[in-house]
Amino acid sequence: MRLPSKLLNNKKIESLVENRTSYTLNNAEMFIFETMAPAEQVLLKFDRPVIASMLQGKKVMHLKDQESFTFLPGESLILPADEPMCIDFPGAKMDAPTRCMVMTVSEDKINETLALLNETMPKVEGDEWNFTGHSFHFADDKALYGIVQRLLFIFAEDHPSKDVFADLMLRELLIRILQAETRKVLTGEPGKNGTHHRIGYIIEHIRQNLDKPISIKELSDLACMSESNFHRTFRNELGISPIDFINEERIKLATHLLHNRDVKIKEVYLQCGFNSPSYFTRLFKKKKGFSPKEFQELSNNTGSGMPADLYELQADQLVWNRI
C-alpha cells in the first residue's frame, strides 16, 4: 500500500525504534506507526474503537480471548474501545520498517452509520446492525483497500473540506466492515447458521451444489423471496452479489483441488460447476493472478520445501502488489 509523502514528513520520534505520525479530524484520528527494529510485547490501547490496516512488513498480534496471529499487508483488524493489544515485531529493520495505519473512530460516527443501516437496509431476520464488540481480523478486498488508500491521502492533504470527505469515506468503510463481519459469520462453521438464518441456509446450499448449475430463481425460491428482494437482501447483508459469491466459492474449491499435482484442469473446472474452460481460466486468473495451470505448478513446487498453503499466500500477496 502506498503512503503519501506528507505522511512521512514531520515524524514524531517516540523512541529509538519507533516513529509515530498522527492526524486528527472531527470524527477520527489516524496514526501511522513505523517500527525500525525488532521488538516484543509492545502494549497498546485506545479509548475509541480502532480500525487498523497493515501497510508494510508484518507483526504478531496477541489479543484477549483468541490465539495469536500474524498481521500482514492486505489485512485489517477491528477492535472495540479499550481493548488491549500486545504486539511483536519480529522482522522490523531500519531500512525496511514495519508500517501500520491505526484509525480511531468516534462513537457518534459509528452510531450514526448504524442508525442509517437499520433504517434503510434492515437485516432479513430482523436483527439489528451492530458494530463488533470483539476483535475482528479479516483480509481486505479491493474496495476496502481503495477506501483505506483514499483516507490516507485525505488525512494528509491540506483541504478546507477534508472533514467532509473523510466523513463520507468513513461511513462507507464502516458499512463495508459490517458487511464483511456478517459475511464471515454466515460463511463460517458449516451447519451453524443454516437452520435459523435464511441467508445462512442459502450459503450452505450453494456450497453443497457447486458442481451443479445454480440460478437466482432457485436460490430465491429456497429463501421464500422474490428474485429482486433476494438479490437486494443478499447484497445488503454480505456486500456481494449472489453470482459473485457463487463464483468466489467455486474459485476457493478450485484452489483446493489444484493443490493435487495429478488432477487435470478439466476435472477441476467441471467439479467446480464451470461449463467453459476459457471462462474458468479467465476468472481464476482475475482472482489469483495466475492461470490454473500456473497456480497448480506453483502450489506443488517442492524445490524450496515450502508447503502449498504458503504458496497460496505468496500468490495472493502478488495479486495485492499488482493492485
Q: What is the pLDDT of residue 82?
A: 92
Fold of 5-186: Jelly Rolls (2.60.120)
Q: Is the pLDDT of residue 185 over 90?
A: no
Residue 192: pLDDT band with limits 50, 70, 90: low
**Residue 72 · residue 321 · CB < 8 Å:** no
Lowest mean pLDDT among 62-76, 99-113, 138-152, 293-307: 293-307
Beta-bridged to residue 30, according to DSSP, are 23, 103
Choice among 7-11, 114-118, 265-269, 270-274 with the minimum mean pLDDT: 7-11
pLDDT at 102 over 50: yes
Which amino acid is it at 34? E
- List the domain boundaries for the chain: 5-186, 189-239, 250-323
Q: Are strands 39-44 and 85-89 parallel, antiparallel or unpaired?
A: antiparallel
Q: What is the mean pLDDT of residues 62-70?
A: 91
User: Does residue 223 carry a pLDDT above 50?
Assistant: yes
Distance CA(172)–CA(166), nearest Å, equals: 10
Share of the chain above pLDDT 90, in %: 67
Kindly indicate the confidence band of residue 293, based on its pLDDT and cuts at 50, 70 and 90. Answer: very high
Confidence label for 274 from pLDDT (cuts 50, 70 and 90): very high
Residue 303 has pLDDT above 60, yes or no: no
Q: Tell me, what's the pLDDT at 205?
A: 95
Helix (H, G, I), strand (E, B) or coil at 34: strand
Across the range 25-41, mean pLDDT stands at 94
pLDDT category at 301 given cuts 50, 70, 90 is confident
Task: Dump pLDDT digits (tens) for 230-242.
Answer: 999 999 999 999 9
pLDDT: which is higher, 17 or 167: 167
What confidence score (pLDDT) does residue 305 get?
39
pLDDT at 152 over 70: yes
> What is the maximum span of the chain, computed from C-alpha positions, in angstroms?
62
In angstroms, the CA 166 to CA 147 distance is 10
**C-alpha separations of 315 from 30, 117, 286, 294 in Å:** 30, 35, 12, 10
The pLDDT assigned to 125 comes to 76
Classify domain 250-323 at the CATH class level: mainly alpha
The whole-number pLDDT of residue 191 equals 54
Is residue 304 scored above 50 in pLDDT? no
In this predicted structure, what is the pLDDT of residue 311?
43
| Domain 250-323 in the same topology as domain 5-186 | no
Tell me the per-residue pLDDT of 195-210, one tens digit each, with 9 for 90 and over: 568 899 999 999 999 9
> Residue 313: what pLDDT?
45
pLDDT at site 322: 39
Closest CA to 236 of 105, 144, 119: 119
Task: Tell me the DSSP string of 92-108.
Answer: --SSS-EEEEEEEE-HH
Mean pLDDT score of the chain, rounded to an integer? 86
* pTM of the predicted model as reported, rounded to 2 decimal places: 0.78
